[in-house]
């Protein structure tokens, strides 16, 4: 099932198709660095970790809220000049900003979280697009009427269920591979520290560990949690040093977790 397609015309889907058909660039190179423009701001640096090793680049005057490595593009060389272009523009989320994103490689999809620009907290959604065509598979609204939420980051499990963090409401939405909202993981354990200063930005970066659990960070509190998506049990993970201001999370290996600070 495939909905409308939103490949951006300027060097977007058309170019991806040309490349797929043996164009100038090898298939797989297109969309290697999936960095979405989120908020207008000064140039930001995104660091991508892939099979070719770490790569860093500076964008052109936009803040990249999130960048993920497309393993399929790992075969492509970064020795050429790094290139950045818009590949996807979904009109149904105009005025919103794109926040977290994740490559669901087994299903050939890209999942993106959308919300209003802070300080508006009245829209949270997650969408999935086919990586080859940029056709939208679903766009699922997550917040209810009157809710104050900020969908922030997303990850998928082995079965393709998506988990989206709510940085305002300290919870995790679970969405089926088809985009149906399934449940909400809420737990008092997510609120470790009282006071607004420790709760300005709540649950943020999230990863799915190959052993079947989620790791999620609370940005302002600096706490890391282990969540069992089946039983919904939540426990604090003890870490050496401070994770305060930790933003996104990336598993470099089953035993190495990486968290760059948000500020």
Ligand X SMILES: *[C@@H]1O[C@H](CO)[C@@H](O)[C@H](O)[C@H]1NC(C)=O
Binding site for ligand X (CB under 6 A): 187, 189, 232-235
Q: How far is the CB of 235 from ligand X (least distance, A)?
A: 5
Complex with ligand X: residue 92 or 228, whichever CB lies closer: 228
| Residue whose C-beta lies closest to ligand X | 233
Q: How far is the CB of 262 from ligand X (least distance, A)?
A: 26
Complex with ligand X: residue 9 or 233, whichever CB lies closer: 233
**DSSP letters along the chain, please?**
----B-B-TTTSHHHHHHHHTT-SSPTTTTTSEEEEEEEE-S--EEEEEETTEEEEEE-SSEEEEEEEE-GGGGGS-SSSPP-----B--GGGTTSEEEEEEEEGGGTEEEEEEEPPTT--S-EEEEEEETTT-BEEEEEE-PPTT----EEEEEE-TT--EEEEETTTTEEEEE-TTS-EEEEE--GGG--S-SGGGSSS-EEEEEE-TTS-EEEEETTTTEEEEE-TTT--EEEEP-SS--TTB---EEEETTEEE--B--
Q: How far is the CB of 173 from ligand X (least distance, A)?
A: 15
Complex with ligand X: residue 132 or 187, whichever CB lies closer: 187
Q: How far is the CB of 263 from ligand X (least distance, A)?
A: 29
Complex with ligand X: residue 105 or 236, whichever CB lies closer: 236
Q: How far is the CB of 185 from ligand X (least distance, A)?
A: 7
Complex with ligand X: residue 13 or 217, whichever CB lies closer: 217
């Amino acid at each position: 099932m495939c909905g409308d397609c939103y490949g951006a015309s300027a060097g977007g889907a058309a170019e991806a198709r040309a490349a797929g058909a043996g164009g100038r660039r090898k298939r797989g190179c297109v969309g290697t660095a999936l960095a979405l423009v989120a908020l207008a701001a000064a140039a930001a640096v995104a660091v991508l970790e892939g099979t070719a090793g770490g790569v860093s680049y500076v964008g052109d005057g936009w803040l990249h809220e999130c960048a993920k490595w497309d393993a399929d593009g790992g075969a492509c060389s970064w020795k050429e000049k790094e290139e950045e272009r818009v590949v996807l523009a979904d009109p149904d989320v105009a005025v919103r900003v794109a926040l977290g994103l994740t490559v669901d490689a087994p299903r050939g999809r890209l999942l993106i979280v959308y919300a209003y620009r802070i300080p508006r907290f009245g829209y949270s959604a997650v969408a999935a697009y086919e990586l080859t065509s940029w056709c939208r598979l679903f766009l699922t609204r997550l917040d209810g009427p009157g809710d104050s939420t900020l969908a922030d980051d997303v990850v998928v499990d082995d079965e393709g269920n998506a988990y989206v963090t709510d940085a305002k409401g300290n919870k995790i939405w679970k969405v089926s591979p088809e985009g149906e909202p399934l449940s909400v993981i809420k737990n008092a354990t997510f609120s470790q520290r009282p006071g607004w200063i420790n709760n300005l930005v709540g649950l943020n970066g999230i990863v799915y560990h190959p052993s079947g659990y989620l790791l999620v960070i609370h940005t302002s509190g600096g706490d890391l949690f282990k969540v069992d998506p089946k039983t919904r049990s939540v426990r604090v993970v003890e870490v050496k040093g401070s994770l305060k201001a930790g933003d996104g999370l990336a598993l470099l290996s089953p035993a190495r977790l990486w968290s760059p600070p948000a500020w």
